[in-house]
């Protein structure tokens, strides 16, 4: 089997895993950039890509790489509280025999950036900053979209959103173009499903800021915003 090398790397507002949306497309306002590795900075490789509104990204769970030959046939999905086991191939768990992820993102712009070559600006990504990207493919709605598809797993672990209380004096610390995205990230409840302690203080690293909060009775309250 030929060795696979990253063709590009994600540049996003998430320096760590905690707080990243659990699926792509949940927060369309989240903007990221795909920066190609020097050996793949050939504009010809992207000729025609602007004709597509969405792209598939095939990438590596670089923070969840296990030792070669070790894997578990079952995992504990956080969306089910972390207590129920399901088959790894019946989930999107990052702990897989091969640590490969798949995300669908919207292509916003194709840019020429000095020192970086042709760069893709995308929205709705669920990738950590620095994530290696193995391949990019266009999303084809006539084959990739299946409105009749059934997914009992997500119906059981229905995604609930939190009411977010973000005091104005704290929200204004963030760059204006990042504020609405920050609120949406928090509303998706970045906590593991099994953590319900209302006294616990959590922190999300986002866009260069450490956002501190606690959650009680369905409401997330921000209590601190400091630069990283």
Q: What is the pTM of this model?
A: 0.89
Residue range(s) of every CATH 3.30.2310.20 domain in the chain: 156-227
State whether residue 173 is helix, strand or coil. coil
Taking 3-state DSSP, the helix, strand and coil percentages for the chain, each rounded to the nearest 5, stand at 20, 30, 50
From the CB of residue 183, how many other CB atoms can be counted at a distance below 10 Å?
A: 17
Weakest-pLDDT range from 67-76, 131-140, 143-152, 180-189: 67-76
**What number of other Cβ atoms are within 10 A of residue 197's Cβ?**
11
> Which homologous superfamily is 8-64+99-144 in?
YaeB-like (2.40.30.70)
Find, among 115, 92, 111, the residue nearest to 102 by Cα: 92
CATH 2.40.30.70 in the chain, residue ranges: 8-64+99-144
pLDDT tens digits along 51-110:
999 999 999 987 765 555 678 899 887 666 667 888 999 888 888 888 899 999 999 999
d(CA 107, CA 49): 9
Query: 156-227 sits in which CATH class?
Result: alpha beta
Q: Which residue has the higher pLDDT, 151 or 106?
A: 106
Residue 192 has pLDDT above 90, yes or no: no
pLDDT at 171: 98
Picking from 180, 190, 184, 179, the residue whose alpha carbon sits closest to that of residue 213 is 190
């Amino acid at each position: 089997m030929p060795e696979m090398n990253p063709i590009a790397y994600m540049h996003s507002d998430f320096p760590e895993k905690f707080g990243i949306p659990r699926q792509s497309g949940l927060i369309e306002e989240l903007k990221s950039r795909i920066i190609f590795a020097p050996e793949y900075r050939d504009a010809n490789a992207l000729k025609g890509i602007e004709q597509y509104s969405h792209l598939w990204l095939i990438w590596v769970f670089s923070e969840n790489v296990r030792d070669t030959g070790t894997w578990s046939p079952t995992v504990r999905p956080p969306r089910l509280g972390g207590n129920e086991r399901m088959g790894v191939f019946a989930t999107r768990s990052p702990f897989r025999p091969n640590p490969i992820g798949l995300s669908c993102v919207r292509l916003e712009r194709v840019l020429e950036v000095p020192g970086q070559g042709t760069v893709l600006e995308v929205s709705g990504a669920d990738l950590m900053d620095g994530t290696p990207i193995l391949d990019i493919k266009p999303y084809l709605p006539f084959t990739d979209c299946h409105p009749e598809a059934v997914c009992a797993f997500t119906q059981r672990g229905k995604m609930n959103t939190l009411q977010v209380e973000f005091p104005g004096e704290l929200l204004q610390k963030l760059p204006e173009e990042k504020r609405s995205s920050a609120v949406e990230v928090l509303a998706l409840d970045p906590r593991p499903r099994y953590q319900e302690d209302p006294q616990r203080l959590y922190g999300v690293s986002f866009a260069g800021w450490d956002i501190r909060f606690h959650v009680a009775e369905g409401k997330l309250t921000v209590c601190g915003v400091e630069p990283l």
